[in-house]
Amino acid sequence: MDKEILNMEEAAELFNVSIKTFIKLLKEEKVPARKIGREWRFSRQALIQWLSAGDSQQYSSSESDPKEFFDRVAAEWSKLRSGYYDEDVINILQSSGLLEKDMVLVDLGAGDGYLARAVAPSVDTVIAVDISGAMISELRKKAAAEGIRNIQTIVSDGCDVPLEDGSVDLVCANMFLHHIEEPISAVREMGRILKPGGKVFLADLVEHGNKELMEAMHDVWPGFSRKDISDWFVRCGFSIRQFDTLGQKTSGRKAGKKKGGSVFVMTAVKQ
Ligand SMILES: C[S@@+](CC[C@H](N)C(=O)[O-])C[C@H]1O[C@@H](n2cnc3c(N)ncnc32)[C@H](O)[C@@H]1O
């Protein structure tokens, strides 16, 4: 018979989440629990009741919807972005040796094409995917003004992209993953569309505690730990080639002026 009184580990297991995620939940929500002595105890029944009384609408208000947010800020995105992160990631990608003249590159969460437009001259085709139609319109406008003709665009959820299995050489995603509710679903999709031996170039925020930043940018995740990222990629059939946290000399160069946190850059290969 199932135990009625659970400790923290058992309660996290009941919800099928890590202890870290469960602790975050305890801090952010009114989870039924009591601290007895130094340890938390939970009633299985009360936890299940609490879970069933939840309401998904509460978490999908228009304000927290990335599509609504990015549709709204699309026209001023380049200005907004420059306050948060700079061109370091683009420079690293361009000097990484990952770009080849005959390749098909997908940019997930492409926004106004900050990365897509920069790498387009170095590859055969760029396919820019974004959930926000307004961001994609900005990208098309800017690419046309810059005379770039090899970017195709798709308005789509990056976790369900209308591209064939094994059709892509390189997937790039700059500051996209922390907007995804279940990042592993995006990683799985990267694996699906890549050819065997295809690569991912991922840049995102290192885990941070800056709630203001999260609210201002409508982020779902407060960045990521190296362990979480590595686990998700390995579980989806990748091997990690490189993982660097940009140091003082790169992202920190303008750290005094930038509001964004530290950035990591990772390269993974589909097995
Ligand atoms: C922080 S912006 C980064 C844009 C661009 N990569 C850059 O570096 O400037 C995040 C982008 O991800 C897009 N996005 C958010 N959730 C998405 C999803 N589920 N599928 C596809 N794109 C998404 C947003 O519309 C936005 O354009």
Please give the distance, rounded to the nearest whole angstrom, from the Cα atom of residue 93 to the centre of ligand 1: 18
Instruction: Using CA atoms of 230, 236, 241, 243 in order, give the dihedral in degrees to the nearest 10.
Output: -30
134 within ligand 1 shell (Cβ under 6 A) = no
132 within ligand 1 shell (Cβ under 6 A) = yes
Of 94, 153, 105, the residue nearest 128 (C-alpha):
153
Please give the distance, rounded to the nearest whole angstrom, from the Cα atom of residue 107 to the centre of ligand 1: 10
Q: Where are the alpha helices (DSSP H) in 146-264?
A: 183-193, 211-217, 226-235
127 within ligand 1 shell (Cβ under 6 A) = no
Specify the DSSP element, H or E, that contains 22: helix 19-28
Structure confidence by residue, pLDDT tens digits, 133-190: 999 999 999 999 999 999 999 999 999 999 999 999 999 999 999 999 889 999 999 9
Per domain, the residue ranges of the chain are 5-54, 63-270
Q: Which atom of ligand 1 is nearest to the CA of 111?
A: 27
Structure tokens given for 56: 């998904």
Q: CATH for 63-270?
A: 3.40.50.150
pLDDT (tens digit, 0 to 9) for every residue of the chain, 271 residues total? Answer: 789 999 999 999 999 988 878 888 898 889 999 999 989 999 999 999 999 998 776 665 444 578 999 999 999 999 898 888 888 999 999 999 999 999 999 999 999 999 999 999 999 999 999 999 999 999 999 999 999 999 999 999 999 999 999 999 999 999 999 999 889 999 999 999 999 999 999 999 999 988 888 888 889 999 999 999 999 999 999 999 999 999 643 343 444 445 667 999 999 999 9
**Sheet strands (E) in 38-141:** 39-43, 104-108, 125-130
117 within ligand 1 shell (Cβ under 6 A) = no
Of 189, 182, 184, the residue nearest 159 (C-alpha):
189
175 within ligand 1 shell (Cβ under 6 A) = yes
> Residue 109 and residue 132: Cα distance in Å, rounded?
9
Using left for φ > 0, alpha for ψ between -120 and 50, and beta otherwise, residue 242 falls in: beta
How would DSSP label each residue in 211-245?
A: HHHHHHHT-SSS-B-HHHHHHHHHHTTEEEEEEEE
Please give the distance, rounded to the nearest whole angstrom, from the Cα atom of residue 174 to the centre of ligand 1: 8
> Which amino acid type is present at position 247?
G
Q: Which atom of ligand 1 is nearest to the CA of 77?
A: 9
> Residue 204 and residue 178: Cα distance in Å, rounded?
7
